[in-house]
């Protein structure tokens, strides 16, 4: 397992440490906001790793919190320094939907990802043509941005062949998503063939949830569990047209873990996936 952490996880580590030190010092978020002359929402976002903070403000807070051990101070400042690095996704930030840069950072730092997909093939498993058709549908009239977003999505997929520790991916996708003719018959045929090849990778598990199964635990919508091993706690990502939500409270994470466990238990054995995909491909070809 890789031990290095990317900037997104380091921001979360910095925020968590500043929150811990604040609470140990008996300070409230309101107190910190007044001390740094900024909003409470800014401090809240710093403590959850969603907003940057200047190095001098970190040192100021450490002194104000009564942190005097120079080793501890330098350890925190090193986390801050590491958090300032730019990830590969920074090149695309101007065209990314709100919150997607944060997701890309979390995904890049994750050691495992478990996702439920009711509408589309997961982005890490999409072919270039399928991705182009999906993105163009939601970004009509923006061909240059569409192409940049396609390149961004394809670059994300490098995680599956990352060395020495490729991302462990487990996706449950609804059968209905695979029968939606995104991009047309040829694009879908190539996409399903790609899924068959992906399912053969040792670090990828794909389950197809049959429509005939009826109702199940995950029908509320798309979500993903991003796991970081010992580097950071698991994060839940919930995607919707209203925006992206990240959940980190233990009770929320536990609820989504239970939901994913229930839905994958309700689905077919992953060993059946190639046969299921081949059957769907044959049926699409007949239509």
Burial class (CB in 10 A: 0-12, 13-18, 19+), 140: exposed
Identify the helix (H) or strand (E) that includes residue 161. none
- Give the DSSP letter of residue 158: G
pTM value is 0.84
Residue-wise pLDDT tens for the chain (287 aa)? 333 567 788 888 899 899 999 999 999 999 999 999 999 999 998 998 888 899 999 999 999 999 999 999 999 999 999 888 888 998 998 999 888 888 999 999 999 999 999 999 999 999 999 999 999 999 888 999 999 999 999 999 999 999 999 999 999 999 999 999 999 999 999 999 999 999 999 999 999 999 999 999 999 899 999 999 888 889 999 987 766 788 888 999 999 999 999 999 999 999 999 999 999 998 887 75
Indicate left, alpha or beta for 276 from its phi (over 0: left) and psi (-120 to 50: alpha).
Answer: alpha
- Give the DSSP letter of residue 234: -
Determine the distance from the C-alpha atom of residue 182 to the mean position of all C-alpha atoms in its chain, rounded to a whole number. 23
Backbone angles phi, psi at 204, to 5 degrees: -125, 130
Per the CB < 8 A criterion, the answer to whether 198 and 209 are in contact is no
In angstroms, the CA 76 to CA 108 distance is 22
- Give the DSSP letter of residue 219: T
């Amino acid at each position: 397992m890789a031990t290095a952490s990317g900037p997104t996880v380091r921001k979360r580590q910095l925020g968590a440490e500043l929150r811990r030190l604040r609470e140990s010092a008996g300070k409230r978020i309101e107190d910190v906001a007044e001390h740094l002359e900024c909003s409470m929402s800014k401090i809240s976002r710093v403590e959850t790793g969603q907003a940057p903070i200047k190095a001098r403000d970190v040192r100021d807070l450490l002194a104000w919190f009564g942190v005097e051990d120079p080793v501890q101070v330098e350890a925190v400042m090193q986390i801050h320094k590491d958090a300032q690095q730019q990830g590969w996704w920074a090149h695309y930030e101007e065209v990314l939907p709100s919150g997607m840069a944060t997701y890309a950072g979390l995904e890049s730092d994750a050691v495992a990802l478990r996702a439920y997909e009711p509408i589309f093939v997961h982005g890490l498993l999409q072919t270039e043509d399928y991705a182009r058709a999906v993105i163009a549908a939601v970004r009509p009239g923006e061909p240059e941005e569409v192409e940049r977003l396609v390149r961004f999505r394809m670059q994300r997929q490098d995680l599956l062949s990352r060395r020495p520790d490729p991302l462990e991916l487990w996706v449950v996708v609804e059968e209905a998503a695979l029968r939606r003719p995104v991009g047309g018959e040829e694009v879908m045929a190539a996409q399903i063939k790609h899924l068959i090849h992906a399912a053969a990778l040792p670090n990828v598990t794909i389950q197809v949830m049959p429509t005939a199964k009826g109702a199940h635990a995950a029908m509320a919508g798309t979500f993903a569990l991003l796991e970081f091993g010992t580097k950071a706690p698991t994060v839940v990502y919930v995607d919707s047209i209203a925006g992206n939500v990240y959940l980190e409270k233990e009770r929320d994470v536990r609820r989504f873990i239970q939901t994913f466990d229930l839905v994958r238990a309700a689905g077919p054995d992953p060993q059946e996936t190639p046969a299921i995909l081949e059957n769907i491909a044959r049926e699409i070809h007949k239509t």
